[in-house]
Structure 1
Amino acid sequence: MTTALRRPEAPAGSDRGTYTYISVYSAVLYTVLLTAPVVAGKLAEQFALTPVQVGALFSAELGAFSLATIPAYLWLRRLNLRTATYLFTAVVVLGNLISGFLDDFGWLVAARVVTSLAAGSITVILLTLSGRTSNPSRAFGLFVVFQLAMGALILAVFPALYAGTGVAAIYWTLAGLAAVCVVVVPRIDGEALREPAASLATSGARPPLAQYITGLAAVLLFYVALSGVWSFMAQISADAGIGLSATSLVLSVATVAGIASALLATILGDTPRRRMYLRLGYIGMALSVALLFGTPGLLRFAVAAVVFKFAWTLILPYLLSTLSDVGGIQVMNTTNLMIGTGFAVGPIVSGTLAETMGFGAMLAFSLVAVMASLLCVLVVQRKTTP
């Protein structure tokens, strides 16, 4: 059995500051994606955009968010993390401020790409520092919990709060939220990744290639499956004859279940039962997809949606923690690219399958992706020490 490179133990006193940094920034940075349902309508109205143009704008933002991984290969181990965070936060603030003043769609796309590239660069720091705490599962749990909580707040408050305003007001609010984040930057160790050469020989060395690829494949397949199914939950419900109001209520309850499971993973953190929780989460996710086959009634759809959301938000912290066990500073950086790629590929493939072969084929594809991700996780876990 191959033993994975062990991550260095973080000083106990530094974890609380890192957790604070992760919580605040993950909530605010992902707001740019979570506000998409609110921003889309205002953009279409203000710029007279077609649905294709609106979709292209959000795809460009998400793509830039993920592609921030590539330049991070060059700067992640060279820059002071505090300095890098201040720099990228300034770009996020300025990008959002400028976005509010633009009246040309082409320039708006450019501004949103630059803003998302900076936000994605901070996300790389978040993921990397999460994997280097003494309790990565807890750190990744916080990463998920605060995104979901902010998402629920946004969808509840933003539509009413900005009903009579233009899109500029939303972008300027995002700029203000990002500016507030800088107060937590001093809580992290800026030199955490700039280790001495002797230390890098062990903690920063490259993990075994096969294990590295298998771990990244697990994340990619997981996100392909979850984004492919969750993106079409409303359509699956409508196809089964379930009303829009009932569907909205079910998805709201599922969102609460997702926050609860991510919070549970955060509280439990790294435990001897981590592997068991991860596997149970995958089983729950697979069963929930299976429940959607055919034409589910309201009760079956509700159970499937709630279990699906509960399962994937329980899986995610433990899945990312498993990746951090693989070793190497750049593992979590590359994971950010896999997340973005999965988010992009899942809806496209699922939508194509649903349109050409029906929802049954789409769900079968997602079910295979879930089980393939689980298989990859089992392979990685066999090669890492508990």
Structure 2
Amino acid sequence: MTSLIKTPGAAVSTSSRGTYTYIAAYSAVLYTVLLIAPVIAGKLITQFALTPVQVGALFSLELGAFSLATVPAYLWLNRVNLRTATYVFTTIVIAGNVVSGLLDDFGLLMATRVVTSLAAGSITVIILTLSGKTANPSRAFGVFVVCQLAMGALILAVFPALFSQAPVSAIYWTLAGLDVLCLLVVNGIDGNALRQSIPRDHTRARVPAVRFALGLAAVLLFYVALSGVWSFIAQISAGAGIDLSSSSLVLSLATVAGIVSALTATILGDTPQRKLYLIAGYAVMSISVTLLFGTPGLARFAMAAVIFKFAWTFILPYLLSTLADLSGGGHIMNTTNLMIGAGFAIGPVVSGALIQSAGGAFTGMLMLGVVGVLTSLVCILTAQRKVVHA
């Protein structure tokens, strides 16, 4: 007689598959609006007669709202059904994109984009937290990174040509259509995953608050370093006399390398070698930044850019899964979303100030990158140290 009792392993496997699908779909679609910023920017300038400052303010507000969604999530994340929350937030995102395509007033557009980004950021909080609750967090975070990169590559290849003659409304309405498709995967997650009273590990370690702080600092410094360097990598190329076509080819190859490394981390998943992988990834990332010092030729620049992107996307899943282990996937992953946004905001500003103060030289900015990467490594290794179990 066939047993009708499901094994725990099967339940976890089924739940994880649904969660992975949810993570894949939403991480690819929600980050699209940030990835197509260059495509939207030109059309907004033309349609609304905007200045570059106004366009920059719009995207800064969107990114800021995306990150600040973390704050209200402290109140609702562990109290609501995640399926219901996702349906509500996705509906807001869909409506926001539809309305954005209808507006002809820039002030109203900014307000609409902020509300839309708050809803999208709220779903991202769910993604990050659920990733830490899967049977294999490193793999889940790998899926999170891979799908963003793959969508980014697709956008760079298809969107400019597809929407070259279309108004900005066509882009926003396309995003709304993609958001509708995401609704098909919502039932794959456990809506009560964060409301369950029984911990997944009854012998869970007691982690001192300083470990949480170090883990969050590692993420913040990592993003400050990578965004600071990556934001100006094209300028480094131009300063070294490398022509635009060669530089663009190198950056395209770097994107491919990033996808390959994120896929590698996804396939490897959680492993006893995670600490070793982190050390190796951080070391390689530091080396790639040092290759940019001076006036790199095309070969050295290509090597630095490809290695930098490869290391960055290989490190990230293991960095995030380390934080998930510290908290069991709780509010620390919510706070991580804020650290990511803060790092993205701080890095380019500080790097730009260093470049300007040095009269256009990149030495100070690159030194900040190396120090940020190495300090992030020290923080995450310290946070990983063994703790006493209850």
The bucket for the TM-score relative to the shorter chain is over 0.9
SS in 1 for 2:101: helix
Match for 1:71: what amino acid?
A: P
Taking structure 2 as the reference length, what is the TM-score of the superposition? 0.94
Pairwise CA distance, 1:271: 1.2
The residue that corresponds to 1:211 in the other structure is: 211
- Structure-to-structure mapping, 1:91-130, within 5 angstroms: 91-130=92-131
- Could you tell me which amino acid in structure 1 is paired with residue 363 of structure 2? G
Q: 1:383 and 1:241, CA in 2 relative to 1: closer, same or farther beyond 3 A?
A: same
Equivalent position of 2:6 in the other structure: none
Task: Give a deviation string over 1:282-323, Cα, whole Å, max 9, x none.
Answer: 001000000000000000000000000000000000000011
Query: What is the aligned counterpart of 1:359 among 341, 357, 362?
Result: 362
Query: Against the structure 1 CA distance between its residues 247 and 137, is the aligned structure 2 distance closer, same or farther, given a 3 Å change threshold?
Result: same
DSSP 3-state at the match of 1:11:
helix
* Equivalent position amino acid for 1:83 in 2: T
1:179 positional shift: 0.7
Give distance in 1, aligned partners of 2:324 and 2:296.
38
Equivalents in 1 of 2:346, 2:168: separation in Å? 28
Instruction: Report the alpha carbon displacement of residue 174 of structure 1 after superposing the two structures with TM.
Output: 0.3
Shift of 1:381: 1.3
Amino acid across the alignment from 2:355: A
In structure 2, the gaps of 5 or more residues are: 1-8
1:256 corresponds in structure 2 to 256
Task: State the partner residue of 1:349.
Answer: 350
Matches of 1:85 and 1:121 in 2, distance apart?
8
Whether contact under 8 Å (1:203, 1:327) holds in the other structure is no
Corresponding position: 1:85 with 2:92 = no
Partner of 2:313: 313
Q: Which residue does the alignment assign to 2:5?
A: none
Ranges in structure 1 where 5+ consecutive residues have no aligned partner: 1-8
* Counterpart position of 1:370: 373
| CA distance in 2 between partners of 1:169 and 1:384 (Å) | 53
Distance 1:70 1:91 in 2: 18
Deviation for aligned residue 1:11: 2.1
Match of 2:208, as an amino acid?
Answer: P
Looking at structure 1, the residues matched to 149 and 38 of structure 2 have their Cα atoms a distance apart, in angstroms, of 15
Corresponding letter in the other structure for 1:277 = Y
**Aligned AA for 2:307?**
V
Equivalent residue letter for 1:142: V
CA distance in 1, matches of 2:334, 2:245: 40
Q: Distance in 2 between matches of 1:205 and 1:174?
A: 43
Contact residue 224 and residue 342 of structure 1 kept, 8 A: yes
The letter for the 1-side match of 2:149 is L
Instruction: Say if 2:225 is the partner of 1:225.
Output: yes
Q: Which amino acid aligns with 2:156?
A: L
Contact 2:260–2:310 (CA under 8 A) maintained in structure 1: yes
- What is aligned with 1:6? none
What displacement does 1:208 show?
2.1
Match of 2:165 in 1: 164
Distance 1:166 1:203 in 2: 57
Separation in structure 2 between the aligned mates of residue 335 and residue 163 of structure 1, nearest angstrom: 36
- What stretches of structure 1 move > 6 A for 4+ residues in a row? 200-206
The alpha-carbon deviation at position 52 of structure 1 amounts to 0.8
Q: 126-135 vs 207-216, which deviates more? A: 207-216
Contact 1:130 1:139 in 2 (8 A): yes
Q: 1:59 to 1:371 in 2, by over 3 A?
A: same
Question: For residue 39 of structure 1, what is the aligned residue in structure 2?
Answer: 40
Query: Are the aligned partners of 2:138 and 2:317 in contact in 1 as well (CA < 8 Å)?
Result: yes
CA RMSD of aligned residues (A): 1.8
Structure 1 residue 221: deviation in Å? 0.1
Map of 1:69 onto structure 2: 70
Q: Distance in 2 between matches of 1:13 and 1:275?
A: 28
- CA distance in structure 1 between the aligned counterparts of 2:148 and 2:156, rounded to whole angstroms: 12
Instruction: Give the Cα separation in 1 of the matches to 2:140 and 2:28.
Output: 13
Is this contact kept in 2: 1:82–1:189, CA < 8 A?
yes
Percent identity of equivalent pairs: 70
Q: Does 1:282 align with 2:285?
A: no
Say if 2:89 and 2:120, in contact at 8 Å, map to a contact too: yes
Contact 1:326–1:384 (Cα < 8 Å) also in 2: no
User: What SS does the aligned partner of 1:101 have?
Assistant: coil
Q: Does residue 186 of structure 2 align to residue 185 of structure 1?
A: yes
- In 1, are the aligned partners of 2:65 and 2:118 still within 8 Å (CA)? yes
Superposed CA deviations along residues 96-137 of structure 1, whole A, max 9, x for unmatched, are 000001111111100000000000000000000000111000
Which residue does 2:293 correspond to in 1?
A: 293
**Structure 1 pair 203–87 and aligned structure 2 pair: CA distance change class (3 A):** farther
Check 1:183–1:206 CA distance in 2 against 1; reply closer, same or farther (3 A cut): farther
Partner of 1:238: 238
2-side partners of 1:43 and 1:137: how far apart? Answer: 38
Residue 12 of structure 1, CA deviation: 2.7
Mapped partners of 1:268, 1:209: distance in 2: 30
